[in-house]
Amino acid sequence: MAKLKLEIRENAFEIFEIKNRLSLGREVKNDVILLDGIVSRTHAQVYRDEEFFVIEDLNSANGIYINGEKILLRSLEEGDIIQIGKTTLSFSLDKTDEPKMLVDLINSSLEKYDHKSIVEAPDLHFRFPSKTEIMEQVYEIAQEKFKLLEGLSSIEKGKLFNILHEAIGNAQRHGHKNKSYLPIEFRYTAQKDKLIMEVTDQGEGFNYRAQLRGKEGVTAIEAARKRYLEGGYGGLGIILMLACVDELEYNSVGNQITLVKNLNSTKPPLSPETQSTHPSALPQACDKI
């Protein structure tokens, strides 16, 4: 899958899949809307040309830069950094293989599968209905799988369990509105240097952009804190997830979240300037989601 990756805020990204063509610009009719005054209404397009993916400047006022070089038309390569106005995107050819194991709990029970094989599989895909009792079975297996991960402390593994619980719970409550017949998809991929967890629901998605960007000068963290103190929800779980993982990605619809945790590495310490606005400054720590 070819995709553009747009950073919404630090370590949080929006993913746009490139099937045939994507338009980029300031107008709402574009596939990728760039809210930047120096971006043209219809600034650029990315499209497939046989086996290549090409980016083209559509007579914009301020141009396009690829890896620091101004271009009019160019084929994209893995890892290219695209600069349009104040917005930075990256291009990727995600060559993810099919999962090695599928655990389908829609029409069969967990007892059908070999428990040891599920726990030890580094790459597997769960499909299960939005039923709490089945979700609990998935949580228990995930917890066993986390125990096998190397390069993480027991506290970090506990945090992974909590954010997965949050992501799948959100799919049930908010994505599916507690419609138990709708399936949740959960893919677990443990690579040498990172763990990738992808949760997809069948709902219409939600406006994660507003939750992450904040409004009218209020940061996303401040807005989440305010909703939390008022007894509401929306945004807090996302911010807490960001405190526990190295990358968080949403698809453009908002019904798929990908959580990436680097293994055998630690995050750098926070500077004094960012400590007051970092997710850890929220009224809860990520291990208490």
pLDDT, tens only, 84-142: 999 999 999 877 677 889 999 998 999 999 999 999 999 999 999 999 999 999 999 99
Q: Name the residue type at position 239.
A: I
* pLDDT at residue 227, rounded to an integer: 56
* pLDDT at residue 134, rounded to an integer: 97
* pLDDT at residue 264, rounded to an integer: 77
Higher pLDDT, 264 or 246: 246
* pLDDT at residue 256, rounded to an integer: 96
Bridge-based pairing of strands 81-84 and 73-75 is unpaired
* pLDDT at residue 224, rounded to an integer: 56
Instruction: Please list, in sequence order, all residues whose beta carbon lies within 8 angstroms of the beta carbon of residue 271, skipping any fewer than 6 positions away.
Output: none
* pLDDT at residue 270, rounded to an integer: 45
pLDDT at residue 217 tops 70: no
The pLDDT tens digits of the residues spanning 43-87 come to 999 999 988 999 999 999 999 999 999 999 999 999 999 999 999
Quote the CA–CA distance of 229 and 137 in Å, as a whole number: 32
Q: Please provide the average confidence, as pLDDT, over all residues in the chain.
A: 86
* pLDDT at residue 207, rounded to an integer: 80
* pLDDT at residue 269, rounded to an integer: 47
* Alpha carbon 254 to chain centroid, angstroms: 9
- 239 contacts 282 by C-beta, under 8 angstroms: yes
Give the CA distances from residue 52 to residues 66, 78, 286, in Å, rounded to whole numbers and listed in that order.
Answer: 16, 11, 41
* pLDDT at residue 111, rounded to an integer: 95
Quote the CA–CA distance of 269 and 185 in Å, as a whole number: 34
Question: Which of 23, 27, 47, 46 lies closest to 35, judged by CA?
Answer: 27
* pLDDT at residue 215, rounded to an integer: 42
* pLDDT at residue 283, rounded to an integer: 41
Confidence of residue 208 (pLDDT cuts 50, 70, 90): confident
* pLDDT at residue 235, rounded to an integer: 59
* pLDDT at residue 275, rounded to an integer: 43
Quote the CA–CA distance of 139 and 205 in Å, as a whole number: 23
* pLDDT at residue 206, rounded to an integer: 81
Higher pLDDT, 232 or 192: 192
Quote the CA–CA distance of 221 and 224 in Å, as a whole number: 5
Quote the CA–CA distance of 15 and 55 in Å, as a whole number: 17
Instruction: Please list, in sequence order, all residues whose beta carbon lies within 8 angstroms of the beta carbon of residue 139, skipping any fewer than 6 positions away.
Output: 161, 164, 165, 168
Percent of the chain with pLDDT over 90: 70
pLDDT at residue 285 tops 50: no
